[in-house]
Amino acid sequence: MSPSATPARYTVLLKPQLTDADGHTDHGGALRSATVAATGDFGASGFPRFEGDGVQADIDPETHTVEAVTVDGGELPYGWVAEVADDSGD
């Protein structure tokens, strides 16, 4: 796959925190995961839109960063994080 190609699907992990009690970056373990597939559309963020398992996510295919996300039609709770799982399954 070329670097500019958009993958057909990703696994998005929803994690409950930004930092640990000491302020270090630590998103905690995934409380939910969703396999999302490309819709062929672009989201409001300008990145490709993916949907599946109740999650809609705009994902930057170059950095694998979730740029926008809704879960079951709503925003993530404050402080939660959405990440793309790495190849090892995170």
pLDDT at 88 over 70: no
CA–CA separation, 36 and 27 (whole Å): 20
pLDDT given at position 23: 73
Tens digits of per-residue pLDDT, 18-73? 667 787 766 778 999 999 999 999 999 999 999 999 999 999 999 999 999 999 99
Residue pair 47/60 in contact by the 8 Å Cβ criterion: yes
Overall pTM surpassing 0.85 (yes/no) = no
pLDDT at 83 over 90: yes
pLDDT at 90 over 90: no
